[in-house]
């Protein structure tokens, strides 16, 4: 008899944003697999075992967790944010898709969580108030020319864009290039939100205009939200500016 495999997200880092459903999964599981800083967010019992691994070992981590679940252990695979958004749920499904038939019989429970773009948006107002998309700027799992073509397509379609994995020591130039591409399509006044570590003690929310936004304002803990032509900034004296995208778009008259 196989065990149960939970895939959870801890949210963006604020303990209150880890859902009760995720906490219930943590209580039920015996072994935990994930990137070390994400596992550090959990409070585990003495009888629970954590197995930390590098953040670039997602597929190997998923395979080990599936092997343990197939052996009858209740296992929890831990992501930050939401496990289905650029995170471990897809890696687990990929491992099942290409793995032994017995893995398809495992009781798999994917628990939704709060992803970074939702946390950042809530901190600053409602920039995701109308149609939007999410794009990872990491070219570790897809070619950079594809990322560029997608950026152009969604900007021309008028979507608000949430950028994940915008910059790192190994990838220092991608966000600057993304800004260049978007400046060719969107107005210079388009609002840009650079939300770092939403909900954590070192949180930093910055609002800029696309024409002035700098890649140096972001790091790997930042989610960048690029507004559409409709996105607005509400200046508030003595308070943080609000950024929102109206729920309606007027039909253009020819």
Which CATH number characterizes residue 105's domain?
3.40.1010.10
Range of the structural domain that residue 102 is part of: 4-110
218 exposure class (CB count in 10 Å sphere: 0-12, 13-18, 19+):
buried
Mark which of 65, 95, 110 sits at the end of a domain.
110
Q: For residues 171 and 213, give the distance between their C-alpha atoms in angstroms, rounded to a whole number.
A: 18
Q: Which residues contact 62 (CB under 8 A, 6 or more apart)?
A: 77, 88, 91, 92, 94, 95
In this model, does residue 9 exceed pLDDT 90?
Answer: yes
Number of folded domains that form the chain = 2
Say what the pTM is: 0.93
Q: Is residue 171 part of a domain?
A: yes
Write the pLDDT tens digit of every residue in 79-134: 999 999 999 999 999 999 999 999 999 999 999 999 999 999 999 999 999 999 99
- Res 242: pLDDT: 96
- Residue 239 belongs to a domain: yes
My answer on whether 65 and 92 are in the same domain is yes
Judging by beta carbons within 10 Å of its beta carbon (0-12, 13-18, 19+), is residue 242 exposed, middle or buried? middle
Task: Give the per-residue pLDDT at 27.
Answer: 98
Asked whether residue 81 is domain-assigned, the answer is yes
Residue 250 lies in a domain: no
Same domain, 49 and 27: yes
Q: pLDDT at position 232, please?
A: 96
Instruction: Work out the pLDDT band at 253, boundaries 50, 70, 90.
Output: very low
Are 43 and 150 in a shared domain?
no
141 and 76 in a common domain: no
Mean pLDDT, the chain, rounded, equals 94
**Residue 251 counted as domain residue:** no
Least confident of 33-37, 147-151, 204-208, 248-252: 248-252
Residue 249 domain flag:
no
- The tokens for 41 are 């967010």
Residue 253, in any domain of the structure: no
For the stretch 128-172, pLDDT in tens is: 999 999 999 999 999 999 999 999 999 999 999 999 999 988 888
Q: Are residues 237 and 142 both part of a single domain? A: yes
Q: Which of 110, 141, 161 is at the close of a domain?
A: 110
252: pLDDT confidence band, cut at 50, 70 and 90?
low
146, 234: one domain: yes
Is residue 203 one of the residues assigned to a domain? yes
Question: Does 58 share its domain with 121?
Answer: no
Q: Are residues 66 and 124 in the same domain?
A: no
Q: What is the pLDDT of residues 195-240, one digit of tens each?
A: 998 988 899 999 999 999 999 999 989 999 999 999 999 999 999 8
* Alpha-carbon span 31 to 48, nearest angstrom: 6
């Amino acid at each position: 008899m196989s065990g149960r495999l939970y895939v959870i997200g801890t949210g963006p880092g604020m303990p209150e944003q880890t859902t009760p459903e995720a906490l219930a999964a943590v209580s039920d599981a015996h072994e935990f697999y994930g990137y070390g800083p994400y596992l550090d967010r959990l409070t585990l019992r003495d009888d629970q075992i954590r197995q930390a691994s590098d953040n670039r070992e997602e597929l190997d981590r998923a395979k080990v967790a599936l092997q343990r679940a197939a052996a009858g252990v209740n296992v929890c695979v831990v992501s930050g944010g939401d496990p289905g958004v650029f995170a471990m749920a897809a890696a687990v499904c990929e491992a099942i898709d290409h793995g032994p038939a017995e893995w398809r019989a495992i009781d798999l429970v994917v628990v939704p969580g709060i992803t970074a773009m939702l946390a950042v948006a809530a901190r600053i107002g409602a920039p995701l108030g109308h149609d939007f998309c999410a794009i990872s700027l990491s070219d570790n799992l897809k070619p950079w020319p594809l990322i560029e073509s997608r950026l152009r397509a969604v900007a021309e379609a008028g979507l608000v864009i949430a950028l994940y994995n915008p910059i790192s020591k190994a990838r220092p130039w991608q966000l600057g290039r993304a800004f260049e591409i978007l400046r060719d399509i969107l107005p210079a006044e388009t609002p840009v939100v650079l939300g770092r570590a939403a909900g954590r003690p070192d949180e930093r929310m910055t609002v800029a205009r696309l024409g002035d936004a700098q890649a140096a304002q972001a790091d790997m803990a930042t989610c960048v939200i690029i507004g559409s032509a409709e996105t607005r900034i509400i200046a508030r004296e003595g308070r943080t500016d609000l950024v929102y995208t109206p729920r309606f778009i007027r039909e253009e008259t020819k």
